[in-house]
Each structure stands twice: as C-alpha cells, then as structure tokens.
Structure 1
Amino acid sequence: MAIDPRTPVVVGVAQTLRRPEDPATSTSPVDMMADVLRLAADDAGPGSSLLARADSVRIVSMLSWRYSDPGSMVAARLGASPRQTVVTTAGGNSPQALLNNTAVAIQDGELDVALIAGAEAMYTRLRSRKAKIHLDWEQQPADVEPTFVLGEDRPGVSDLEMARSIMLPIQVYPVFENALRAAAGESIDEHQQKIAALWSRFSSVAARNPHAWFRDEKTADEIGTVTAENRWIGFPYPKAMNANLDTDQSAALIVCSVEAARAAGVPEDKWVFPWSGSDAHDHWFVSERDNLHSSPAIRLNGQQALSLAGIGIDDVAHVDLYSCFPSAVQIGAQELGLGLDEPDRPLTVTGGLSFAGGPGNNYVTHSIAAMVDVLRADPGSLGLCTALGWYVTKHAIGAYSTEPPPNGFRHAHPQDEVDALPRREAVADYDGPVTIDSYTVMHERDGEPAMGIVACLLPDGRRTWAHTTEPGLMKSMTLEEFVGRPATVKSGGQIDVA
C-alpha cells in the first residue's frame, strides 16, 4: 500500500549526558541542543543536509537557563533558516504534546521538516553555584519572541493550595500515593514493598540503558529502606522514589513528512511513525478533583489514542509511562489497563525519572527517542508513550510503530469530556469536622518530620487542606493508616486528630 507523502515520520533521534568535573567548562543548554540535533541528523543518515531543510525548530522549555526564543539560537548554531520557532510552556507533558502538534502540522502540509530538542544542565548549575563559578553562557534579549508558544501557561496550584504548602511535586505526589494505598486496601508495609519492587524493576531497565544517569540496579530493599543517604522526603517516599533533576542531559527528535524523508535520503529502516496522539488535562487544581488516586484525562487520552490507531492496549508491546514518582506510574497503569508487573512488558523503556534521569520538562523527549530505538529493533511492534505535567494535571500520549499508520496520523483532544466530570468545591476558611482524604509528612534533611499536609473532606463533600507540626502526630502518620479517619480542622488550617 502506498504511503501518503504527507504522513509524519520520526527519522532521527539522539540523547546525551555529561558529568563535568569543572562547571566552567560546560557548554550552555542551547549548545547542548545543537549538538544533540547534529547527532540525531547523523542517526537519520543525511547529517547536516537534513538540518538545513528544517522549517521549524521546536524547543521544550528549560529550568536551568532562561531563553525567550531558544529555537532561533539553536537554528543559528546549526546554520538553519526555519520559517518558525516554537517553545513550550512548563510541564512534563510538553515533549509529547509538541510531537503531537508537529505530526498534525506535517500531515496538514504546514511543515516538512521539524527539529525537536530539549536540554537541562542542572548538574552544572548546582555545582557552579556551590563553587561560586560564573557560567559565561549567552544571554538572549527578553524582547525576542518565538513564532508561538505551545501549551497553557498558568499556575499549577490555587491560592488555597499555596497557602497550605501544596506547591511542589515532592509535596503533592506523596498525597496521591497514600490515597492509592488506601483505595487498594493495602497496609503501609504491603504498599511500601509494592512500590519499592516497582521502582526496582525501573532501575533494572535503567541499568541496561546507555543513556541513563544512574545505571546501577537497585533492589527493592535498597530503594525502600530509609537510611541517611536514602532519607525520607515526603512520606511514603524516601529519596530513591523521587525524580532526579540533578542531571545534564539533552535529547532530540527529527520529524519529517514521508516525502521530505525520501527527498533527504533517509533510509526506511530508520523510520518510526506516530500513529495517534491525544492531549487533555484533568481538573486543573488538585483540590477540585473527585478523588486523589485516579486520572480521567489519562483514561480518556488512552481510549482516544488507542481507538484512533485502531488498536487495543493488548496490541502494545512496549510502554513508557511518565514516572516522576511511583504514584504517577500506578495511576497511568490503572487508567490504561496495564499491569504493574508484566515481565514481557515493563512500564518503562528508559528506567524512569529517578534512574534514567529527570531533566526538567524534557524527560519525554528522551523516552520517545528511546522508544524509537526499541521499535527499530522490533520492527512492526507498537509502542506507547505517556507524558504528564504539574500534579497529574496535563497529559499527552502517543502511539508509535515502524509500520505506517493505516489511516494516517490521528489526534484527539477530549477536554470537553474531562471538563464535564464531577468537580469538588475547595474551601479556604473552615472550622469543623472532616474526614482525612489523604496526607503526607514532609521531612527535614536530618530525617525529622517537619510538617504534615492533610487533604480533608467536609461532611458536604467539599475539600479543604490542613497541616500539623505536632511531632507525635506526624510520627504516627508514618506508621498508621490515617486515610478515612475523622478529624477536626481549625480556622487557619490546623488539624486535630482524635
């Protein structure tokens, strides 16, 4: 069957990492992206001639250095003259959302060759600050603008959540984890063993990944046992269960139309086709969600992406679920109908953000690049990548194969369906009885409990947040199940548990 010449196809991928001994010798994220795009062009075959054909340079937003239009700087380093430059908003969903947007633009005839890249240099930045070394990286005038910015740019937390210290991933994802445990009816010990074993399996994949930041396989005991080095962060997560942002990593994808790939001379054994994609977000603020252990947006995204591709989840041979914390993986797996321990189908192709590395918003550029390599080695099989931003908030998903999609690339945006689902009202100022919905206990660096953060349901079903700094209560919250317990919240957010 002839392939529509407008069909989008990924033709080149690359990943890099570095651990510079002297931060002063490190190149900037823009230079890292130019370098990894050259490697991706070499991976595709044509090299620099393919880069020169680019009519769009598309960059995942960065944490480690500020640029207003990084795509123009990357293009200049590559000698490319694109018609457009694009940068995303913050969020781990951004790379897959960018790929989905790119595939639609290529299929619609708006683009022929697109370069997608991202890089983070937090390893260098943190060590340069500690050593008081000035990084002489190029600054970009603030008034330089890209052609457009992809994604929603609004705060991920509400004023109430901010006031109750619900503002960082390390504070929110443990709340999801404790809600998952309670919903499953598992004891604390049972659940800790389960998620430690899950993360051990992820570390096994990272050990085989040449692009992983940590390649030493960890046992479940090593991951789950709290020590001075593996200290508590937010119960129930010791450090090993948190995403590792302290990396210098870059990744790139080159996406073309079939017509452009052929014109550039890219061998067909390099081709991996996006089959379908879907984008949607859950109710934006965590406080508004019906429960704290599911994601309707992931479920609807998955249903749409699989349906549009004409496949079922059992047809998918390779999976990479977004994996900033174990709760993100469990929620993704349950919504897509995946088992947590399928020996022939692990839930990651990289090793995840704790072990392969969590380079800011750019992890999924790495997971897509890794998926392309996996699919090239297993021609005809299907792969699925998920991406997630903020607090299980923003979602994107994509299906891939070396075989062309039967009906071209297809894309969905089931936002209206998500928005129609029940939404809880959040209450800022409340004094009265509640039921504990979920919680976490944040810890100091010395391992001592610092603050208990508690999600509470009012008798009428509304939600509020509370906190405690009472040492005995915080200790008990790490040893006993508190989800479902009655409590009293005082005005200002202090909680009292009988």
Structure 2
Amino acid sequence: MNSQLDPRTPVITGVGQVTASYPAAEPAMLLAEALQVAAGSHVLGQLDSLDVVAIGTRPYTNPGSIAAAALGLTIPRLTYTTHGGQSPQILVNRAAWDIWCGRRSVVAIGGAESWRTRRLLRREGRGTGWTVQDSSDQPDEVVGSELSMASDIEAALGFGDPLDAYPMLESALRFESGRSLDDHARLVADLWAGFSEVAASNPHAVIREPVGASSLLSPDGGNRLISHPYRKLMVSNNDVDQAAALVMTSYGKALALGFSRDDLVFVHGFGEAVDCDSFTAREAFTTSNAITAAAADAMAMAAATMDDIDLIDIYSCFPSAVQVAARSLGLPLSRALTVTGGLTFAGGPWNNYVTHSIATMVERLREQPDSLGLVTANGGLLTKHAMGIYGARPPVRAITAPALRRLDTPRPVVAETHGPVSVVVATVRYQRDDVPSHGFVVAETATGERVLLRTEQQALLAELATSEPVGRKGTAAGTELVDLP
C-alpha cells in the first residue's frame, strides 16, 4: 500500500456487465441488475449519485429513478446524459474530479439497452409492458449538449446517418494509402477478424464465434451490403440487450468500505476534445486533431506516453473510426486495439458501449496490475472525443479539472454548385436487397469550397462502388453529382 497516496484520489471499486437473452427486461431494469453487480449490497446504500448514459430503446425522462426504485434505494442525485458515445468517459471524468474535490463521495455510472427485445416484440405484434415514465420525473442534471449529426445544409440532403459518414472516411483512408478497392477491403477484413477473435474470449460479447476475414467479405449468412465498402458484420451491432455499470469513490472511502488495495483501479488521466460539427467541413478525413489533443491531455495528466500504455480499447463503431484513431494516436493496426472485441462483436448498445469497455479494462488491469490501459470514446460522426487512462497501480500525479478543447478549423462550405468538382470522399448506401439506394460525395469546387452532393443515378452508384472515385473529377448540378467521367 502507498501510505503517501492522497485519500481523495478517485478509484473504481466495482464493475458490472449484463448481456441478456430474449426476452430481456426493460433497459432501466437491466441497468439495476448491472448496478447490483458493480456495487454489491454493501456499497449500494452508500451511493450519493447515479449518472445514467442516454438510453435509445425507451424514451425515459429519468431512468435512474426507475433503477433506484427497483433496488430499493433513495439516491440523492440523479443525472442523465444527452446522446453520444463519448458520454460514459465524460461521466467518469466529471465524477473523478468531483470525488477529488469532495463534492461527491460514491458515484455509480451506467447505461442499458434492450433494443433486440424491443425489435422482436414488435415483430411479433406484442407490446413491451415497460415503464411509462411521467414527464414530471426529471433528473437533477442533464449532462452534455444536444448531439447534432448534420448541419442544416447536410440535413436538407438527408445526410447525418453514421452509415453514410463512416464509410466515406473509409474511402479517404483507402485513397491515401494507394490501395486498390480489393486490397483495402482485405485490410479492413483482417482488422475486424482480429476484433472478433478478442470477442470470442469475452464472456459478455454478443458474438463469440470468431469470424474470419473471408467471411466478413462474403454475402453469406445475411452479411448484406450496408454502405460501401461495409457489409453488416463491419458496422456497429446495436441489436443487443446489454447493460454495464461502474462505481467510483475516493481511495480513502474505498478503504473505509472494506475494499483491499488489490480491488481498486485508479483514474490516471483523461482528456476531451471536439472536431468540426459539420462532416462536410472537416479539415481532414484520415486523422483527427481532436483525438490527438484529447490523448495528449490524458497522457500529460497521467505522466505517461503511448509507450507506457499496455492495453487499449479504441472506439470501434466502424473500421474507419479505428483507423483514424490509430493514425491520430500513432498506433499501428498490427497492435491489439480492443479489449472487448468492439461494437460489432462485443455489442454496440448505442451510447453505452464505453461503459462496457471501461468495465472490461478494469477487469484486465486487475489481472495485469503493472499495466496502464487507454480507453477512447467517440460521439457523433467522429466528432466528440474523450479519453481515459486507467491503472491498478496508483497514479503519480493528481488529476486536474476536465477541459474541453475544440481543434478542427472548418473548411468553407457551399450549399450547391454547378460545374466541375473533385471528389474528396464518397459512399453508396444499399437497400436490404443489395440494390443501391443513393450515394453521397463530399467534393471540392474549382474555387476550393467543400460541397455535399447526392446522387440516385444507378450508373453513377455503380461507378462509385466499383472503381476509386476519390480524386476524380466530376460534374455537379446544384446539390447533385451528375457525372463522373
């Protein structure tokens, strides 16, 4: 034991994960189950705060009150977040600072989704019977700003779905590498096959059978095209019934609650940053200044470098998100980049994946007490970023207050253009029968502005999907790409 360790130092004392079978309980009840596992009976009654990650399955106003009631608890402070995959790490950062400052004592953080059960019940024509929460039941605080997925210009064209944006990032990565479509597809498949191998050993994963690269590229087994170049097994899997929670307190309080030094995992550092809110206006599509900056802040707080990091979980909603983050962090794709198996195979419960990745990281660090672990979180269209560094050994520096940095300088954007353009990124969306529905292109005009273009011409969609469109010259007519010679 480190007798010099400040008793205010924030620690994680327990974690809990639930992967339920159909029919699962409603999300608030799954959250209660995860909280029970994370806290145990001797800590549940000590909670002075419950921070809940936004739930997509059910329009609760304050799910923490339902979970608390199910556990027979009165928790003095209940908070709820806005949507965004960065939220769990943001909650950890806030809780760590509040604990250090003495504003909160024992904090639980968690979230849950019962999306698969909701989908199957609806398919069977059955109601859920889940809690209908009175609108008067409100949290004490809402954490985070509303998540914007598109600018007004983008929204007018129907853009803003991650299934459009992340495949477009993939096209930029492919073009910059100089790989052919087939060679790059194989690289991505190899990356995702490695993630599936990790999920196979994760007892909380929803897909525990390893999936080889060839299977990832094959249409067999319902692995249909979603957005070029991604098939179903290369995108986040939100068809899950999952919950995860963790409990944080101070080092001194943890010892008073009866935890041994070996039970505890410390928060060593964290960082937060945002990129440009408009996808079209992003400065770069293959790197992220915000990821680099958030990691640098976390490393500085932890007095660590990337060479000191032994375990990593990069937010993995799509392969492009992993590649951009790895490039921005200076990591090779050959390195182990997940501890869970990622959002396709471990499960992608909307905003709450990172609670699962932190929980798994805590378990791994208890097994490897001399290691440091890095968790990255991502919200929006690779827009909002948060990082956390964790370790079972005590930190060498005290944490500092969370600080959000804005790093991306927006490029000038026009709503429409006529005449020649140069393609910067592109993708094609598919219907369930593998027939293309539409395509999006971000292009540059002859005068250097960015413009978002849409096309539904089948010949152009085939061209976008079967040859390299990035770097090619085309013609725009208003908001439409009309040819790609």
Shorter-chain TM-score category? over 0.9
SS of equivalent to 1:119: strand
> In the aligned structure 2, how far is the partner of 1:315 from the partner of 1:411?
23
> In the aligned structure 1, how far is the partner of 2:223 from the partner of 2:64?
39
- 1:160 equivalent to 2:150? Answer no
> In the aligned structure 2, how far is the partner of 1:373 from the partner of 1:459?
54
Instruction: Give the aligned partner of residue 255 of structure 1.
Output: 248
Instruction: Give the aligned partner of residue 359 of structure 1.
Output: 349
Instruction: Map Cα deviations across residues 301-344 of structure 1 (whole Å, 9 max, x no partner).
Output: 011111221111011000000000000000110111111012xx
1:298-309 correspondence runs (5 A): 298-309=291-302
Instruction: Give the aligned partner of residue 433 of structure 2.
Output: 446
Q: CA deviation at 1:88?
A: 0.9
1:202-217 correspondence runs (5 A): 202-217=195-210
Find 1:293's aligned residue among 286, 295, 299: 286
Instruction: Give the aligned partner of residue 430 of structure 1.
Output: 417
Instruction: Map Cα deviations across residues 371-415 of structure 1 (whole Å, 9 max, x no partner).
Output: 000000001210000000110011110000001111122355351
Q: CA deviation at 1:114?
A: 0.3
Find 2:33's aligned residue among 24, 32, 35: 35
> In the aligned structure 2, how far is the partner of 1:48 from the partner of 1:19?
25
> In the aligned structure 2, how far is the partner of 1:54 from the partner of 1:228?
46
Q: Answer with 396-405 or 181-190: which moved more.
A: 181-190
Instruction: Give the aligned partner of residue 473 of structure 2.
Output: 486
Aligned AA for 2:477?
Answer: K
Is the CA contact 2:148–2:277 (under 8 Å) kept in the aligned structure 1?
A: no
> In the aligned structure 2, how far is the partner of 1:90 from the partner of 1:364?
13
SS of equivalent to 2:47: coil
TM-align CA RMSD: 1.3
SS of equivalent to 1:431: strand
> In the aligned structure 2, how far is the partner of 1:425 from the partner of 1:181?
24
Aligned AA for 2:435?
Answer: E
Is the CA contact 2:82–2:147 (under 8 Å) kept in the aligned structure 1?
A: no
Find 1:198's aligned residue among 191, 209, 214: 191
Instruction: Give the aligned partner of residue 132 of structure 1.
Output: 125
Q: Answer with 187-196 or 454-463: which moved more.
A: 454-463
Instruction: Map Cα deviations across residues 100-125 of structure 1 (whole Å, 9 max, x no partner).
Output: 11101101110110011110000100
TM-score (norm 2): 0.97
Return 5+ residue gaps in structure 2 as ranges. none
Aligned AA for 1:34?
Answer: A
Instruction: Give the aligned partner of residue 464 of structure 1.
Output: 451
Instruction: Give the aligned partner of residue 378 of structure 1.
Output: 368
Q: CA deviation at 1:81?
A: 2.6
Q: Answer with 468-477 or 322-331: which moved more.
A: 468-477
Instruction: Give the aligned partner of residue 378 of structure 2.
Output: 388
Is the CA contact 1:305–1:412 (under 8 Å) kept in the aligned structure 2?
A: no
Instruction: Map Cα deviations across residues 18-50 of structure 1 (whole Å, 9 max, x no partner).
Output: 122xx4xx3211111111111112xxxxx2121
Q: Would the alpha carbon gap of residues 100 and 190 (structure 1) be closer, same or farther in structure 2, given more than 3 Å must change?
A: same
Aligned AA for 1:310?
Answer: A
> In the aligned structure 2, how far is the partner of 1:92 from the partner of 1:228?
29
> In the aligned structure 2, how far is the partner of 1:109 from the partner of 1:303?
26
1:280-359 correspondence runs (5 A): 280-342=273-335, 346-359=336-349
Q: CA deviation at 1:226?
A: 3.2
Is the CA contact 2:151–2:277 (under 8 Å) kept in the aligned structure 1?
A: no
Q: Answer with 261-270 or 330-339: which moved more.
A: 261-270
Q: CA deviation at 1:164?
A: 2.2
Aligned AA for 2:399?
Answer: F
* Percent identity (aligned): 40
- 1:17 equivalent to 2:19? Answer yes
SS of equivalent to 2:390: strand
> In the aligned structure 2, how far is the partner of 1:404 from the partner of 1:73?
35
> In the aligned structure 2, how far is the partner of 1:226 from the partner of 1:195?
16
Is the CA contact 1:164–1:493 (under 8 Å) kept in the aligned structure 2?
A: no
1:167-186 correspondence runs (5 A): 167-186=160-179
Aligned AA for 2:26?
Answer: S
Is the CA contact 1:300–1:414 (under 8 Å) kept in the aligned structure 2?
A: no
Is the CA contact 2:53–2:110 (under 8 Å) kept in the aligned structure 1?
A: yes
Q: CA deviation at 1:154?
A: 4.1
> In the aligned structure 2, how far is the partner of 1:293 from the partner of 1:141?
45
Aligned AA for 1:104?
Answer: W
> In the aligned structure 2, how far is the partner of 1:154 from the partner of 1:174?
20
> In the aligned structure 2, how far is the partner of 1:490 from the partner of 1:448?
24
> In the aligned structure 2, how far is the partner of 1:251 from the partner of 1:478?
38
Q: CA deviation at 1:161?
A: 1.2
Q: CA deviation at 1:483?
A: 0.3
> In the aligned structure 1, how far is the partner of 2:355 from the partner of 2:221?
33
> In the aligned structure 2, how far is the partner of 1:152 from the partner of 1:401?
30
> In the aligned structure 1, how far is the partner of 2:137 from the partner of 2:419?
52
Is the CA contact 1:55–1:84 (under 8 Å) kept in the aligned structure 2?
A: yes
Instruction: Map Cα deviations across residues 249-268 of structure 1 (whole Å, 9 max, x no partner).
Output: 00010101112111111222
Aligned residues: 483
Aligned AA for 1:433?
Answer: P
TM-score (norm 1): 0.95
Q: Answer with 155-164 or 383-392: which moved more.
A: 155-164
Instruction: Map Cα deviations across residues 50-76 of structure 1 (whole Å, 9 max, x no partner).
Output: 111111011000010111111222222
Q: Answer with 384-393 or 263-272: which moved more.
A: 263-272
SS of equivalent to 2:102: coil
Aligned AA for 2:19?
Answer: L
Return 5+ residue gaps in structure 1 as ranges. 42-46
